[in-house]
Amino acid sequence: MTHNLLKGKNGIIFGALDEKSLAWKTAEKAHEEGAKIILTNAPVALRMGRINELAEKCETEVIPADATDMDDLENLFTKSTEILGGKIDFVLHSIGMSPNVRKNFPYTDLNHANFIKTLDISALSLHKLLQAAYKLDAINEWGSVVALTYIAAQRTMPGYRDMADAKAVLESIARSFGYYYGKEKNVRINTISQSPTLTTAGAGIKGFNSFYHYSEQIAPLGNASGDSCAEYCISLFSDYTRMVTMQNLFHDGGFSFTLSSDDVLASFDQ
């Protein structure tokens, strides 16, 4: 069922790799809700992934951009406004990658060149895309920018390694840039802290499967699915959330505020 929540709006969606990607699901829903969107991903992901299928489905095109490269980002915003015939109303930052996680470096023995890459790709990219948009004045008044994050920014989860630090920086950038962009243009910037979800990035985290089932048992509503995450993104792009900014919003079935559950405690009964 659609409600035309995004009718007349233009958006840019970063990070759709395959149909499991949170960005893929959000792009489909944004299209269903009447938005015109541009899809983007890193050039290497365009070769590996299936983004062209999504572009066909959403009746749009793909503009390659490495989210760590300012020239790519400026080109992306300039071309997107040309193709869409107006400024941007919403942006989804759905980008994460840690070479330390990929190569299995323990947190106590990280490769620091990798660490800098993790921060650049997974956190500074939000600052970079916002800076490009701000400079070009590419986002409409009351526009909405959402970045996806994870609770390991607040609460330690060992296998998440340097991605936890990157997510803490990402959430801080949303608050800091949210202040300036809000004052200047009424643009709102939030992060959504999503439940573990089975995607390419999710599956790369050590112990992901066990943790997926653990949080499913702790959260009163269970884990939030990828589809429901997409719906939450749409609500934040819509005009119904115009006064929400600089927030980290937990979308996790109540996991973040539940210390334990009857199910989990029962497994310790003696």
Residues 6+ apart with CB under 8 A from 85: 10
Sole binder of ligand NAD in the list 68, 140, 190, 247 (CB under 6 A): 68
Question: Taking contact as CB under 6 A, which single stretch among the options 91-99, 100-108, 174-182, 258-266 is the one that binds ligand NAD?
Answer: 91-99
Task: Report the alpha-carbon distance of residue 196 to residue 171 in Å, rounded.
Answer: 17
Q: How near is the Cβ of 269 to ligand NAD at its closest, in Å?
A: 30
Q: Is 42 in the site for ligand NAD (CB under 6 A)?
A: yes
Cβ atoms of 208 and 160 within 8 Å: the answer is no
Q: Are 93 and 105 in contact, with CB atoms under 8 Å apart?
A: no
- Phi first, then psi, for residue 100 (nearest 5°) are -70, -40
CA torsion sign for 155, 161, 167, 172 is positive
Distances (CA, A) of 192 to 56, 67, 79, 228, 231: 27, 19, 27, 12, 12
Return the SS3 of 160.
helix
Q: Answer positive or negative: Cα dihedral of 65, 67, 70, 73.
A: positive
Q: Indicate whether 118 belongs to the interface with ligand NAD (CB under 6 A).
A: no
Quote the least distance from Cβ 138 to ligand NAD, whole Å. 18
> Whose CA is closest to 121, among 102, 140, 142, 95?
95
Residue 18 or 32: the one with the smaller Cβ distance to ligand NAD is 18
Residue selected from 11, 15, 178, 253 as contacting ligand NAD according to rule CB under 6 A: 15
Q: Which stretch binds ligand NAD (CB under 6 A): 9-17, 73-81, 133-141, 262-270?
A: 9-17
Q: Does position 26 bind ligand NAD by CB under 6 A?
A: no
Task: Give, as ranges, the residues between 139 and 158 that touch ligand NAD (CB under 6 A).
Answer: 148-150
For ligand NAD, what does the binding mask look like between residues 208 and 247, x meaning CB under 6 A? Answer: ----------------------------------------
Q: State both tokens at 18.
A: 């395959």
Q: Could you tell me the smallest distance in angstroms from the CB atom of residue 117 to ligand NAD?
A: 9
CB of 224 to ligand NAD, least distance (A): 9
- Kindly indicate which of the ranges 79-87, 93-101, 108-116, 262-270 contains the residues binding ligand NAD, using the contact rule CB under 6 A: 93-101
Residues within the interface to ligand NAD (CB under 6 A): 14-15, 17, 21-23, 41-42, 45, 66-68, 94-97, 121, 148-150, 194, 196-197, 199-202
